[in-house]
Amino acid sequence: MSDTDAHGASDERAPRAREATTAAMLDAAEELFAAHGFTAVSVRDIAKQAGVSHALVHRYLGSKDEIYRQVLGRNADILTGSAADTDDLMEAVALMFREGLAHRQYLRLFTHSALHGLPFEATMGHFPAVDLLIELVERSRGEAPPCGDVDPRMAVAAVTALYLGWVALEPWLVPGAGLQDADEATLLTQLERIIRYVLAGTIPGAARTDEADG
């Protein structure tokens, strides 16, 4: 290989190496934040978990606040992406519900943030999945009058709290409610049904799509 070829190969490898290192650091940060919460994790903890120096973490990712926002941001479209091909509220809920369960670690970041008093604005400042559900709710209800004077945003907030609460507290809730004998698939099917009932009972128009699904 000529000097020119060697230099070109080196130039190509450098960005890939940085991308791989950055991804490893973000993976480490996500795991630690999900397990311990934002306040209990330091940049040194992240560096140790990723097997790099804390100076490198600062240089590639910035401060702990910036790292946290990047961890949240890189997965921001996981739930909305799963429902990108539907305008139906209930179908979107079902798709996001199931996709989110495959990414429990990511969802636990939100619950840790709230429980440890991290202001919403200090995270991403928005929750794309909630934004999408509110948009679909507005479409579903159209010109129909409100049901029981429930603000659609409140209905979405309530089912989001129910969902995130289950993700965060499942190890406690199952034995606490005496559900140890039920298999996980059954529990999740019933939880999804409850969420759909809440929306169908409070959002005009949503009930029709729910009935259509059988």
pLDDT value at residue 50: 95
DSSP 85: T
The residue among 52, 104, 100 whose CA lies nearest residue 79 is 100
| Per-residue b or e along 177-210, where b marks 16 or more CB atoms closer than 10 Å to that residue's CB | eeeeeeeeeebbeebbeebbebbbebbbbbbebb
pLDDT of 184? 92
CB burial of 51-68 (b: ≥16 within 10 Å; e: otherwise) equals: ebeeeebeeebeebeebb
CATH 1.20.120 fits 78-212, yes or no: no
What is the pLDDT at residue 214? 46
Q: Return all residues near 132 (Cβ < 8 A) that are at least 6 apart.
A: 79, 80, 83, 92, 96
Residue 90 and residue 199 in contact, taking contact as beta carbons nearer than 8 Å: yes
Angle at 191 (CA atoms; ends 173, 164), nearest 5 degrees: 65
Smallest Cα–Cα separation from 110: which of 191, 165, 192?
Answer: 165
CA angle 179, 183, 185 (to 5 degrees): 120
Q: Which residue ranges in the chain fall short of pLDDT 70?
A: 1-14, 124, 141-149, 205, 207-214
* Alpha-carbon span 163 to 161, nearest angstrom: 5
- The full set of domain ranges for the chain reads 3-74, 78-212
Convert the pLDDT of each residue in 132-156 to its tens digit. Answer: 988 888 877 655 555 556 788 888 9
For residues 118 and 39, is the Cβ–Cβ distance under 8 A? yes
Read off the pLDDT of residues 154-189 as tens digits, 9 standing for 90 and up: 889 999 999 999 998 899 999 999 999 999 999 999
Return the pLDDT at 212: 45
Pick the CATH number of 3-74 from 1.10.10.60, 3.40.50.10470, 3.40.50.150, 1.20.910.10: 1.10.10.60
